[in-house]
Structure 1
Amino acid sequence: MFMDKQAFAVKGLDYTIRSAVEKDAEELSALRLVIDGETENLDREKGEAFIDPAGFAKLISEDTENPRNLFLVAVANDRIVGFSRCEGNQLRRSSHKVEFGVCVLKEFWGYGIGKQLLQQSISWADENGIRKMTLHVLETNEPAIALYQKLGFEIEGILKQDKLLADGTYYNTIVMGRFHEST
């Protein structure tokens, strides 16, 4: 699915959020590798499950054509600084929901970019008859959990000792969902 560009200005930073296009593939491949090395809040360590530019181009193309998928990028200072995806499922029993994921370069934390990516995704989901958005978040990512709850997500469950982090400790993953009732 494709969404029009939206502009934002926060704390002196101007940025836009728009649908990813195939020419973003090379930059997204490099960006994802950097972000994966900046935080343990994501599922991957740096270099794991690497997606090369061709892989991103294919993903962007498929997401643009699929009415149940949305791939957004955040652009500041003429470069992509974050992205998010909503991925739906074609199985009839699961076709009412999408899973949301987001990542932003650490130097751009605090400007509301992740929040805007999520809010744009929520609006898209609500406008397109998607009844449920789900996401997974590491229990230690308290700012993200608070944001998700503020935007209507509820804790649905806990995956105990789900992630092994660099400190050698297992941490829980929190499963959250947001429901949109059809009118």
Structure 2
Amino acid sequence: MEAFERPTFETSAARTVYQYVERHGTAARHRARTATELDSETFDEALEHLLSKGYLKDDGGTLALALDVGSVETHQNDGISYVIRPAQPDDFEGLVEAIRDVSAESTYVVAESVAEQLLYEDAVTRHNTVQSRVFFVATVDDEVVGWCHLDLPQLDKLRETAQLTVGVVEDHRDHGIGSQLMERGMEWARANGYRKLYNSVPAVSENALSFLEAHGWHTEGIRRNHYTVGDEEVDEVMMAYTFD
């Protein structure tokens, strides 16, 4: 299933099973059957339908969303080898830690809110009739050191725009990881029909603003005194990238 494809359901049982797995990220098959309170035959029919449509996948009895967001890529730069790939449920703790690490030091408010949303929902990927959420991660020796996040509204009037955040923990910067993550997210958005990406950054985050500008982003607007950082009122710089 593609992340931009809005899921549809032929039966209420299929909707119930999908919603349970989607809200929990992953779910043991027997736990999903118990939690949805469906009888065995109805549950099995609903699950088989979801598997056949490519909405869910069953990995040895563990159910998860079957989103197709790309392949695994290996990169090398300055003697550093790192992998960029779609995030998996097992990346949850490392992903939250990386986002919090970056947002704490650079007042990356939007990224901080993404981390809080992850913790609240306790799931890496979301895909329902309202919104989708996709993450790409960069790993070094299987440790998450950076991310690119795309928030994808499913409402028709918003489905051609997406919010993008990107960040790399301090110890792994200056090796091109952030640029590769940015390019991966932007290429995915372009390939899937999005016409515009946006991000919002406090005006005091000069490095973040310079990074976005270096990748072709432009300032779309400024909201005065939008953030409170410490005791200081700080402007919000609204950045955007529009595909040709």
Common topology (TM > 0.5): yes
User: Does residue 49 of the first structure (1) align with residue 113 of the second (2)?
Assistant: no
Superposition deviation, residue 154 in structure 1 = 1.4
More helix by share: 2
Matched-pair contact (CA < 8 Å) for 2:217–2:240: yes
Aligned to 2:191: 127
TM-score when normalising by structure 1: 0.82
Aligned to 2:170: 106
**RMSD of aligned Cα (Å):** 2.8
SS at match of 2:109: coil
Number of equivalent positions: 176
Matched-pair contact (CA < 8 Å) for 1:131–1:180: yes
Matched-pair contact (CA < 8 Å) for 2:198–2:241: yes
SS at match of 1:59: coil
Structure 1 alignment gaps of length 5 or more: none
User: Does residue 141 of the first structure (1) align with residue 205 of the second (2)?
Assistant: yes
Matched-pair contact (CA < 8 Å) for 1:16–1:75: yes
Superposition deviation, residue 37 in structure 1 = 3.3
TM-score when normalising by structure 2: 0.63
User: Does residue 170 of the first structure (1) align with residue 233 of the second (2)?
Assistant: yes
Report the CA distance shift for 1:13/1:25 in structure 2 as closer, same or farther (over 3 A): same
Aligned to 1:12: 79
Matched-pair contact (CA < 8 Å) for 2:102–2:108: no
User: Does residue 25 of the first structure (1) align with residue 89 of the second (2)?
Assistant: no
Q: What whole-Å deviation, never above 9, does each CA across 1:56-78 have from its counterpart, x for those lacking one?
A: 4x232x25999964311110132
Superposition deviation, residue 90 in structure 1 = 1.3
Matched-pair contact (CA < 8 Å) for 2:130–2:154: no
Q: Give the percent of matched residue pairs that are identical in Structure 1 and Structure 2.
A: 22
Matched-pair contact (CA < 8 Å) for 1:63–1:71: no
Q: What whole-Å deviation, never above 9, does each CA across 1:117-137 have from its counterpart, x for those lacking one?
A: 111111111111100001112
Aligned to 1:95: 159
